[in-house]
Structure 1
Amino acid sequence: MLSLLSRSCHCRTRTRDTLLHIRSFSFTYPTWGKHDKKSTIRIPSKKAAAAKARRKAVIAAAEDAKAEKMTLAKAISVLQAVEVASPKNTYELFIKTEIKSGIAVPKGRVNLPREAKPSSEEKILVFAEGRQAEEARKAGAHIIGGTELVDGIVNGRVQATTILCTPALIKAITPKLGRILGPLGLMPSERRGTVTDDIAGYLQRIQGTSEWRADKAGNIRTPIALLHFPVEDVVQNIRHFLASVKKVTGNTRDAEARRMKGSGPRPVTTISKVMLSSTQGPGIRISDF
């Protein structure tokens, strides 16, 4: 009897141990092998990166060559035919510039032979003191002062569409305003003529002109003429505006001549695309810009 009981208990214990053994779980941490040469990330050399960039440029040029383009005169006639019932509609000019990192967006002023829109109201700020501040006030500047204006510009309380500065104050305002006004194309610059002792003369020169400016991607859009303008007036407006853009971006022959004379290197911003459209018409690529 005792032997039977002991055998029964032994069987039960054995069965329980078997079940526990079957249900047991194990966990092992993954082992990470050493990186071999095949698994490492390869960083292309400068030569390889340059070759890849050239291949991409060739492909992009080939695709651009396939795009349908028209001469300026042909594009104007097509848009006039589309807008024949809407003579008060507007032509819009689009210019694509290839701005590079660290280069300010293109910005300039132009006086079109025949304005297509009322000129927007400007607000001119001048950093000047003493006699030059008084001259700026008489010439029509809206905001005039010295370094006390810097904090207002940084905080956004003081805003302007054009900012001029005398050479005596440019070093004092640059440390705080360069990083803010530079990307906006508003920082006074000797190259652009906005750092000058002749504040009154500059303000007289810009009277009757309108400002154009590219966006952060380098795109310039502007109404350029009305549909009821004669073709000659439309062409003249477009050529006049393009000349202003080419001068600012360094794409004119006179700019190249100045570089040859040793006046210092000036970056050239490529104009990759020019399009003409209308209010209800399509955008047409221009071939002869």
Structure 2
Amino acid sequence: MLSFLCRQCQRSTLASVFASRQFSSTSVALARRDKESKIRVPSKKALAAKSRRRAAKVAKAEEKLEKLSLLDAINVLRAVEVASPNSAYELFVKTEIKNGIAVPRGRVNLPREAKAKTEDKILVFAEGRQAEEAKRAGAHIVGGPELVDGVVNNRFKATTILCTPALIRAITPKLGRVLGPLGLMPSERRGTVTDDIAGYIQRIQGSSEWRADKNGSIRLPIALLSFPVEDVVKNIRFFLASVKRATGNSKEDERKTKGQGAKPVTMINKVMLSSRQGPGIRLSDW
């Protein structure tokens, strides 16, 4: 019928038809639509239960993995690397990082270094008598807030940065975002904001810093394959003692905190020893 009308009449007729047509949905369709629009949010109790089940599953899988004693792991890697005496053992420590717990870090002076030490370059924010003491103690760059722009522009490079309490507020606004991600921002918790600048420099001389990454993993070349087994064991035991102190897992911490309330502890989940061509071996007696 529309074919016999002119275009203008066709448009007006179609418009009236669509305007008069009523769209409706059945009760079943509306119920289905309401059900789909509701997103199910699991409760905290359900999330906690799911987390516990996942942790139990991971723990069960971990128990099935073979573990060796430290001496056995060293012997296996020495046999694998018999043609590469200059290869290095690498120690891997996995810690459990949780919200509100700082990334583990510390300093250590191994009984026998696996590689030549790189000299720390120390920058100190201090003025007056403390600045003079820092220079005498061996600091490479010493100054006040005038050094801030040089640090931001990368003109002054350092591996350790110290600051006196009197200057920390002056340097934090500009340096916090620059040095924070690098782990170099002075802080009271780490002991790098102190009035005893000279004493801190003397304590760190001859030692090297280690730190975990954001996932809580610590990797370190711990010894050479050419070292006697006794030296390898000493290095590993010495380093693990440093990690345990930094994470609150040492027996000394247990005695100190006994009866004084809970202290945040960063759990150590596993310790592995490997080499360049050898397998990663989980240790059972760390």
The answer, yes or no, to whether TM exceeds 0.5 is yes
CA RMSD of aligned residues (A): 3.0
Q: What one-letter code is carried by the residue in structure 1 that aligns with 2:111?
A: P
Distance 2:146 2:255 in 1: 41
- The alpha carbon displacement at 1:279 in A equals 1.9
- The alpha carbon displacement at 1:139 in A equals 1.1
Superposition TM-score, scaled by structure 1 size? 0.83
The alignment partner of 1:189 has SS state of: coil
- The alpha carbon displacement at 1:50 in A equals 1.4
Find out whether 1:138 has 2:136 as its counterpart. Answer: yes
Other-structure match for 1:165: 163
Q: What one-letter code is carried by the residue in structure 1 that aligns with 2:276?
A: T
Q: Is the 8 A contact 1:108 1:213 kept in 2?
A: yes
Q: How many residues align?
A: 271
Find out whether 1:232 has 2:257 as its counterpart. Answer: no
Other-structure match for 1:56: 54
Comparing 170-179 with 101-110, greater Cα deviation is found at 170-179
Distance 1:192 1:15 in 2: 86
Consecutive unaligned residues of structure 2, counting only runs of 5 or more, are none
Other-structure match for 2:40: 42
1:87 to 81, 85, 93: 85
Other-structure match for 1:8: none
Distance 1:256 1:190 in 2: 23
- The alpha carbon displacement at 1:100 in A equals 2.2
Deviations 1:106-159 (Å, cap 9, x if unpaired)?
A: 221100001110001321111111111111111111121222333433444433
Other-structure match for 2:269: 272
For residues 1-289 of structure 1, what are the structure 2 equivalents within 5 Å? 36-37=34-35, 39-260=37-258, 262=260, 266-289=263-286
Comparing 172-181 with 36-45, greater Cα deviation is found at 172-181
- The alpha carbon displacement at 1:206 in A equals 1.1
Comparing 242-251 with 163-172, greater Cα deviation is found at 163-172
Q: Is the 8 A contact 1:107 1:185 kept in 2?
A: no
Deviations 1:9-46 (Å, cap 9, x if unpaired)?
A: xxxxx79559x99xx9x999998958535641122222
Q: Is the 8 A contact 1:88 1:227 kept in 2?
A: yes
Comparing 144-153 with 201-210, greater Cα deviation is found at 144-153
Distance 1:101 1:194, change over 3 A: same
Q: Is the 8 A contact 1:104 1:182 kept in 2?
A: no
Q: Is the 8 A contact 1:105 1:184 kept in 2?
A: no
Distance 1:46 1:152 in 2: 49
Distance 2:43 2:96 in 1: 25
Distance 2:4 2:68 in 1: 89
Distance 1:121 1:33 in 2: 73
Distance 1:187 1:288, change over 3 A: same
Which 4+ runs in 1 deviate beyond 6 A? Answer: 26-32
Work out which of the two has the higher radius of gyration on C-alpha atoms and give 1 or 2. 1
